[in-house]
Amino acid sequence: MGLVDRGRMPAPLTKLFNIGRSYSMWVYQWGLACCAIEMGAAFASPRYDVMRLGVIPLPASPRQADFVVVSGTVTDKMAPAVRRLYEQMPEPKYVISMGSCANCGGPYWDSYSVTKGVDQILPVDVYVPGCPPRPEALLEGIVLLQQRIRNEDMGAKWRHEEYTSLQASNAKKNPPAADQQASDAAREPIVVGGGPIE
């Protein structure tokens, strides 16, 4: 993958790799509270059939996972373990925060022992709001993450740079103001439903 790291990958090949990566993602499930029931329904139930989206649940370890879904209340005591789990995942890696507790602390936000959102310790790519969110909302978050992966610059992601879309990386050579605004908007985390993070 030396071509990817150096940014010398031809655009058609980059698009092909991105499509392949978006439809073959192993998900590591980090269920900490009641939202884990809805996450289990989305990943284990034949009703939702998450494998049709190209998402394979239950990898053997975080070292084989492409993204992690954190659902439930993250306590300050659990935060180092969640961070260690994220650090064990190979690049490129993604995070989905599922439910109000994982997003911002939820009904326990004023407790002394609750982390005020998993984004305090991990870079979150997709927020799925709700208490608890429905399995369909999690599936929508996965589809939105797949769309982001299909449009991202692989070299920038693997060099640990912020999210850069293919269009923005091509426009960096001579960036007009509109392209710069589109690039800034593309770096923002995705919120399912487009509403506020609750």
Binding residues for [4Fe-4S] cluster are 34-35, 101, 131
Long-range residue pairs from 46-55, CB within 8 A, at least 24 positions apart, any chain? 48/135, 48/136, 48/139, 50/139, 50/142, 53/23, 53/139, 53/142, 53/143, 53/146, 54/22, 54/23, 54/24, 54/25, 54/146, 55/25, 55/26, 55/27, 55/142
Rounded CA gap, 138 and 39, in Å? 7
Give which of 67, 81, 69, 74 is closest to 148, Cα–Cα. 67
Cis amide bond preceding 132, omega within 30: yes
Q: Annotated binding site: which residue ranges?
A: 34-35, 101, 131
Length of the chain: 198
